[in-house]
Amino acid sequence: MSTISMRTGTLGVSALAVVGSLALTGCENGDEQTPAQPAASASSGAPAAPGASATPSTGDGAVPAGAPGTAKSGQVFKIGEAAEVPYDYGDFKGSRLALTVTAIEQGTPADLQGLDLGDKANGKVPYYIRYSVKNIGTTDMSYASVGHVKGLLGDGTEAQSLAVIGSFEKCKNESMPKGFAHGQTQTSCAIALAPSSQVKVAGAEYGGNPYNAANKGKAIAWK
């Protein structure tokens, strides 16, 4: 599924490209991909995450290397349940996170106006995947970025992603702040596009290392 990449400027916005695969616009901290933020007017708060992991339903796949409680490859969680995941990018190797998709909110096609997407936005409806990241490890994760969060359509296929460099108040994608130590939580947001108003983004997935094909893993999901 493709990703629409966009850049916002002082006087407006313009689409950069539509690219294949799962690539996003930026890249920080080794292989971790970073979706950015598009420009719009209204703001929407991101709900806080639960502090501890709930007991999720499970899928097939082996448990990735790490401490007990690590989410299994392909494991499925309910919205609001926390998944304990390793984070081994760049300077943050050996880190651990509790990642929680807290809400999936439907936007309107009007939200995409002003982004200069042209025909790429025809009929599409944005959904805002709100998630929280809690540092449950011992490393300082200042300025780390947790991407690889994508939408899932009702049939289980991956929704198209929208990645923008700039500021989009409806769905702020946030890196970790300075001093992001054990026990601290940050909220963030990813944008997924439904192909029409008749199709909904019904779930979300996280496909960062080790939950990806490169590591013979499978993304974990929230439904």
Query: pTM here?
Result: 0.74
* Residues 58-94: tens digit of each pLDDT: 444 333 444 568 999 999 999 999 999 999 888 898 9
Exposed/middle/buried for residue 105 (C-beta within 10 Å: 0-12, 13-18, 19+): middle
Could you give all domains of the chain from N- to C-terminal order, each with its CATH number? 3-222 (2.60.40.1240)
Among 202, 101, 94, 93, which residue's Cα sits nearest to residue 148?
101
Task: Read off the tokens for 191.
Answer: 């944008």
pLDDT exceeds cutoff 70 at 56: no
Cα(126)–Cα(158) distance, integer angstroms: 14
Cα(188)–Cα(197) distance, integer angstroms: 25
Q: Determine the distance from the C-alpha atom of residue 179 to the mean position of all C-alpha atoms in its chain, rounded to a whole number.
A: 22
Among 213, 212, 204, 217, which residue's Cα sits nearest to residue 76?
204
pLDDT exceeds cutoff 60 at 17: no
* Residues 96-155: tens digit of each pLDDT: 999 999 999 999 999 998 778 888 889 999 999 999 999 999 999 999 999 999 999 999
**213 φ, ψ to 5°?**
-65, -30
